[in-house]
Structure 1
């Protein structure tokens, strides 16, 4: 919901949009850089403790936002504390849980868990904006921080590390072949082998563009862009929320599709569709066109996650998902950080988002072409020493 606070912070503190976007960009970058290390910790210690600590850091960083009085403090709270906190949650955590607990229907489950971020967006962004309009931006921050602190003990009490930790088997484990069962108990593939695999770089490169065009540009700048077009902050927030609701459906649908169709072709379709919708975005001129584009873009906002995460499991093995997808997600967040910051800088220079939307649209189309070059050659697992 940080994008909902850009204009209120501009108005109260007279900070430039580039400076505020820079704080968001650092948070997105550390979110990504923390992900592979969080993934490795999840692979080693389990999701429970990593998720609990991460949610606590996010709650703390959100609460500290209430005390902000300088850009440096904003960078510290949004960039460092929240950035590190979010690094241990979201997509890496969901991908790991899906591949640990499910042998069949992994794509659908990954889609459902990934859509949780959109469900949160559906609630958080309109809520923060409405509270800001009715009271002030601090009220919205208090509500988000309070809800986050409530989650900390709930995560610790109810999140389990694996089916084995509660005496169960993964859903669909009875259909596993001997080779699949052996791979499930193998050691993670070393990153020294992962980085020599061409599919790793194609997935990381396309996911860099995913981050640049989704959370980097749209997630950070959609609300300020809409307000610049004369659209009210409330209408813009509802458009953002609608995009989140549609994306929840789109991401779950993507998971269902990638259990049935070639994931490379799905990724090609998603990125191409995204590119075309971004190329149309500069011509938004009113609430109706904004809502229409929110629906179109929302269909594939995070739809790339299920095919990307399940391809990682197919190529590098389930035991390597936390670490390998963590590094691929780091590329996603690097793209988010770069474009979040650059779009703010270009806005200061030109007073418009035109160049940012057109450039992002072209990048998305190129990323789609990358995905067609994936070979999906499985890396042999490393047996656990006897």
Structure 2
């Protein structure tokens, strides 16, 4: 059993693990900036090419599906080739996808460049990437670090969204994509300098551990391992409960909010730049909520936390149609604060449950649960646009997703526990995994 020791206050953040976490956070921030672009592009692409919102939503859906499907394989590839190499290649792939999108002339090209290339690249830096970094480099403060890394994607939206919105408004949509491509390219050398694959590479132990932890041998057959983890996890009931709840999570956040909130607010007369600023404000509180969730996950039952987060989110979505207006009212600001606190707060509890249930394979298992999240997001991204085209309003979508969140709360409470002596599928639970 690995011993754990308190860290001195003076040396706490001098540990190399915090620098690796900071580098991972930067990569996630840059990748997160790409997720809100479809909402900004819907109007300009409709004006220039005559594409419907459904066509734009289709590309966003392909992006989200690949984002989810790539994550478990990327986590396995990190076990095979290392974190640093996978992240560097992923950043170059998303830069290529964004650059090629500026040259497109047909809707299928948008689906190929943005949907496939950007989806593959950003999926490699999804929350499974954060889970991998946390599992390798930390024994203590895992929930807190998971929350910090999970908040990075929305922090990227917060940082880039107002700037990108202004670029689209004043200079057109192509310069905004070039800006993102350059940001991704500029991040690559920083990742290569700072990121390391394992504490043993720099002669350190994971943060909070006493004894040295040797670097594991590269896992051969990354794709086979990812599929094997899915096969074993899929034999357990908790996996399907988490996957179902997380699919609803994706539909009620990435799928609808980050793709359709701006056009929905615009339907009520709100300028797109104002709506984008509201999304950015959600990102501010998202950081607070996700970090707080990570802190709480270190101390409370993650199942109850998930149920609480889903129940509150469902209520907010049901009331959203009543809050939409041409101007920002206090009620809308209250929604922004509350939704921001809850948006990504589900990530640390789900990561903790995957680690508890599936041990050393927890990061890859979480990648597969994340695939369900993105499948739900893709369904909402396409379905939300199609509903708007058919009914002329987003109101039924908000209410339906609010009701689904109530179901996700129930699913969260049904996730079972693993007894301390019971092995997880394929691997035994380590002492560090139970912390």
**Structure 1 position 322, deviation (Å):** 2.9
Contact kept? 2:230, 2:368, Cα under 8 Å: no
Contact kept? 1:26, 1:79, Cα under 8 Å: yes
- SS of match in other structure, 1:79: helix
Residues 1:211 and 2:253 are matched in the alignment: no
Q: Compare 212-221 and 280-289 and name the one that shifted more.
A: 280-289
Residues 1:252 and 2:291 are matched in the alignment: yes
Aligned equivalents of 1:65 and 1:263: distance in 2?
40
1:19 counterpart residue number? 55
User: What are the residue-to-residue correspondences of 1:226-241 with 2, within 5 Å?
Assistant: 226-241=265-280
Contact kept? 1:47, 1:160, Cα under 8 Å: yes
- Residues 291 and 11 of structure 1, relative CA distance in 2, 3 Å threshold: farther
**Structure 1 position 306, deviation (Å):** 0.6
Aligned equivalents of 1:153 and 1:190: distance in 2?
32
Aligned equivalents of 2:334 and 2:109: distance in 1?
37
**Structure 1 position 383, deviation (Å):** 6.6
Residues 1:367 and 2:403 are matched in the alignment: no
- Residue of structure 2 aligned with 1:162, choices 198, 206, 214: 198
Residues 1:138 and 2:174 are matched in the alignment: yes
Aligned equivalents of 2:45 and 2:230: distance in 1?
41
**Structure 1 position 191, deviation (Å):** 3.5
Contact kept? 1:43, 1:323, Cα under 8 Å: no
Aligned equivalents of 2:417 and 2:354: distance in 1?
9
Contact kept? 2:229, 2:365, Cα under 8 Å: no
Unaligned runs of 5+ in 1: none
Aligned equivalents of 1:130 and 1:192: distance in 2?
46
1:313 counterpart residue number? 355
**Structure 1 position 295, deviation (Å):** 1.6
Residues 1:380 and 2:423 are matched in the alignment: yes
Q: How many residues align?
A: 378
RMSD (Å), alpha carbons: 2.1
- SS of match in other structure, 2:342: coil
Q: Which deviations, in whole Å up to 9, do the C-alpha atoms of 1:8-56 show, x marking residues without a partner?
A: 2112211100111111111001111111211221233321111111111
Residues 1:125 and 2:164 are matched in the alignment: no
- Residues 281 and 112 of structure 1, relative CA distance in 2, 3 Å threshold: same
1:91 counterpart residue number? 127
- Residues 142 and 192 of structure 1, relative CA distance in 2, 3 Å threshold: closer
- Residue of structure 2 aligned with 1:67, choices 103, 112, 131: 103
2:231 counterpart residue number? 192
- SS of match in other structure, 1:89: coil
**Structure 1 position 190, deviation (Å):** 4.0
Unaligned runs of 5+ in 2: 1-35, 220-224, 429-435
Contact kept? 1:209, 1:367, Cα under 8 Å: yes
Contact kept? 1:43, 1:320, Cα under 8 Å: no
Aligned equivalents of 2:170 and 2:241: distance in 1?
46
Q: Which deviations, in whole Å up to 9, do the C-alpha atoms of 1:163-220 show, x marking residues without a partner?
A: 11211111111399xxxx89x99x9884432111111111111111111110001011
Aligned equivalents of 2:129 and 2:264: distance in 1?
31
Structure number with the bigger relative contact order (C-alpha 8 A, sep ≥ 6) is: 1
1:265 counterpart residue number? 304
TM-score by length of 1: 0.93
Aligned equivalents of 1:291 and 1:71: distance in 2?
35
Contact kept? 2:66, 2:120, Cα under 8 Å: yes
Residues 1:290 and 2:329 are matched in the alignment: no
- Residue of structure 2 aligned with 1:333, choices 351, 363, 374: 374
**Structure 1 position 376, deviation (Å):** 2.2
2:432 counterpart residue number? none
- SS of match in other structure, 1:231: coil
TM-score by length of 2: 0.83
Aligned equivalents of 2:100 and 2:65: distance in 1?
20
User: What are the residue-to-residue correspondences of 1:34-45 with 2, within 5 Å?
Assistant: 34-45=70-81
**Structure 1 position 135, deviation (Å):** 1.7
- Residues 50 and 377 of structure 1, relative CA distance in 2, 3 Å threshold: same
Aligned equivalents of 2:78 and 2:275: distance in 1?
37
**Structure 1 position 335, deviation (Å):** 0.4
Aligned equivalents of 1:338 and 1:383: distance in 2?
33
